[in-house]
Structure 1
Amino acid sequence: MILVTGATGTVGRLLIDQLLVAGERVRAVTREPARAQLPHGVDVVGVDRTDPASTADAMRGVDRVFLLTSGPGIPEYDTAFAQAAADAGVARVVKLSSGRAGDATATDPIPAWHRAGEAAVRAAGVPWTMVRPLGFMSNALHWAGTIREQGTVYAAFGQGRIAVVDPRDIAAVAAAALTTEGHEGQIYTLSGPQPLTPGEQTAILAEVLDRPLRYVEVTPAQARHALLEHGVPAELADAIMALRADALEAFTSVVHPTIERVTGRAPRTFAEWAAAHASDFRADTAVAGTVRS
């Protein structure tokens, strides 16, 4: 059985679908099991991250773990899950980390949190794989409201390029690492096929939606305020803004061949992702985006 943490998040939910198609038994960890709305056959459990006993209970009968934690608690949560996995005799842990964790010059919070989490997984002694995506294509969903209402994208750091990744490709790499051999001790840095600025993403969205859109660069303070209005806690908003500032550096614009090497197919383009999510950006449609880094 495979334990999936962060089961209702962007990558976790996609991973569950892919594992079920592959015929795997899945146990999903979520903070609110009654609201999870996961497919029939998934064993949904709640875990109190402050209670080691509940984490140990979730590990019973599990032989592989997908570890997805977020926020300032990443080091603590990863330590707890990794130790519980070791105690349960789990054969493999695949941790979703941050692309910037592999950049020695990145000292801002999110890569630092993930480096500590990775260290905890290694220290637990369970065979591991680290999956380190660069920016998520799905973060563009935060622009959906102003695209629908104003035909405008507001974003900071307009000159920064990120080789953004489709979350489905991240899930596909994680699924391969969980279900096939040869991934132990591997660090997979994932990128999409093309580094893009916010303005270039806006132009692609305009073409897909067949309507004119404009990009307006805002200050970092304005972008931070928008995150707070979206419900992001202040500490996490500051961490996200620090990570976005790093898009000005060369590291985030590098295209990596990892997705095709692991899955056997090329990563999806931003245009393909946008076409699949076009309804989110059209009038009278709801958006359910999650910031990931």
Structure 2
Amino acid sequence: MANDLAFKGADAKAPGVDGQQRRRRATAGFLPALLPALLPALLRDPWFLLLLALVALGLTWAVTGTTPEAVAALWHWSPALLRGLAMNIQISLLAMALGTLVGLVIGALSLSPSWLLRRATRAYVLLFRNAPILVLVYFTTYVFPFELNLGGWYVPFPDWIKVVIGLGLPASANVAEIFRGAIQSIPSAQWEAAQSLAFRRTQIFRMVVLPQCVRRMLPSWMNLMASITMSTSLASLVGVHDLVDTATVASNTVARSDFTILVYFTLLALFFAYCYPIARWTRYLERRHEHH
């Protein structure tokens, strides 16, 4: 009897037990309902994406049995991988520079009063916007000579320059379309107002139209740059010693399955580290342009 009374007294002294259980059940039901709302915001956070990538890499190492020897081999090959990435970046920057210069000229000519010039530039844009990039890379690599004869002097024509030209051709066609669209988006009232102030056509273009075109073109130009950068991985197919080629050589040299998985994960991470900030900056410019 005394034990029963003691047990009941202890039960009476703990009235919060049921409340704690109810709070646990409420929390357990609240978290699954909250997760679908939080997940899109988390996926937009670059630090959360980096955490996911690190977790995925750790799980891959655990599942595939990646050993410290593979990590040591990756550290040994890391300078060569970074030099390969530098080659990809160099090709992408030069291809975009070439494509931008040629594209601005083609885009300006596409608005020429001459019917012949408009048709010729339209044919150029249609040809190189719809041609596969790999075909253009092969075309420029094997059609252009391996060396140039300049007044009796033989100058080598390296493959990476041919890849720059091969990537610059579709870039120029896309820049021409971006530039033409930006010019046509300028209200005609601005042209008429500038003409009423006795501005010449070149002055209107340089002082009124072009500054606005740069702001309108920049997000699309950044997207194109990211696309061209990812296309530089095709350079390894024509013998250019870039990041992909370096990773392949490293994999064949070390000849370990765990190292092969690790080196290609590293290749993916390096391309992501270069292209993701470009994508984030593009989104920022697009939002800024919408507010203006």
Give me the TM-score of the superposition, normalised by structure 2.
Answer: 0.22
**Is the helix fraction higher in 1 or 2?**
2
Structure of higher CA gyration radius: 2
Pick 1 or 2: higher relative contact order, CA cutoff 8 A, min separation 6.
2
